[in-house]
Structure 1
Amino acid sequence: MSTHPPLERRVAADVMTRDLLTIAASESVLMAWELMCKAEVHHLPVVDDEGGFLGVVDAQTLAATWNSATPRDARRPVTAILPHRPPTAVRPSAAVADAASAMLEAGADYVPVTNEYGVLVGLITARDLIAALAGVEHDVAPRSTGMPSLYRIEPVLPSAVPARPNRGRMGPG
């Protein structure tokens, strides 16, 4: 049985995910995709070199902007697909209903949670809200000190497409 008050009386800090996988602003769109796949997440907060929060890349945006016809697009910095406007954020003390309203107003399935200094302290996704509504306990990990989590995976892409002699010919040359 849940010991939490009803969802309508809970605050953002009660339902947010605190231990976040983030990506550096200088990383590529391909890196964002790799991280999402490896970690099985759909949202990646983007941070600058000092750990400042810039926005969130979500799987839907990544998929919509992916262009397999131009492989160089995969090397664009992840900031190239961030919305031009910073996302509306809520404070940890905001009512869950306010967080849900912020999602609806932004047309997004997430809302960042920031402290009074604009530092990212968590993220609430639609999945977090559904889990809270269903009474599923959310593992609330304490916020680690320092920079948010950041995994680094180095995909290797060819620098150029190799030339293929006799490309149009059939059979051995």
Structure 2
Amino acid sequence: MKASRIMTINVTCITPETPLPRAQALMKQLRVRHLPVVTQGVLCGILSDRDLLSRGSLLEGTFVLPDISTSQAMTLRPITCRAGTPVSQLAALMLEHRIDSLPIVNAFNELVGLVTSTDLMSLLLEPEQLSNEPPFRFQMCTADERMAPSA
């Protein structure tokens, strides 16, 4: 089985200029632990919950992030794979590097999807529990588009 079969393709992305508190709010709203960071569709980093934890501090019992840009906290040059990468190789890379997500990119380093540890764990479900629905079409969304209230 290849990455293209299990990857999430409706991925919300942020830009390097996105303020860290805004990125945290977006992660909380979407209930995700990773946000790819892109510039004109090209992957330039990834922001994880671990990156946020390393930058934040507790102030009177509340977790507070500095008002800095994502570029100052993101992981630069994340490990990536292609859509044709075998799932076993994805799992091996995640274990080896102790990471929970792998951006899937094309030959131009454009983001085409994201595989998380949750995606890999879903493979352990019984076959009748798996969806036969094809994955959704990839849709690049900015943080502003995701955070905007729906009409």
TM over 0.5: yes
CA RMSD across the alignment: 2.1
After TM superposition, the score normalised by the length of structure 2 is 0.82
Report which of the two has the higher share of strand: 2
* Larger-Rg structure: 1
| TM-score normalised by length of structure 1 | 0.72
Identity of aligned residues (%): 24
Residues 97-153 of structure 1 deviation map (CA, whole Å, 9 limit, x = unaligned): 111112122220111111111111000000000012214337610124xxx111314
Query: Which residue does 1:158 correspond to in 2?
Result: none
Corresponding position of 1:6:
none
Unpaired runs of 5+ residues, structure 2, are none
Bigger relative contact order, structure 1 or 2, given CA contacts below 8 A and separation 6+?
A: 2
Equivalent residues, number? 139
**Does 2:28 correspond to 1:33?**
no
**Structure-1 separation of matches of 2:48 and 2:134:** 22
Alpha-carbon offset, residue 73 of structure 1:
5.3
1:47: Cα distance to partner? 1.1
Determine whether 1:112 maps to 2:103.
Answer: yes
Q: Is the Cα–Cα contact under 8 Å of residues 9 and 138 in structure 2 kept in the other structure?
A: yes
What pairs up with 1:27-106 in 2 under 5 angstroms?
27-48=18-39, 50-69=40-59, 74-84=66-76, 86-106=77-97
Shift in Å at residue 68 of structure 1? 4.3
Q: Which amino acid aligns with 1:54?
A: C
- Are the structure 2 counterparts of residues 104 and 27 from structure 1 closer, same or farther at C-alpha, using a change threshold of 3 Å? same
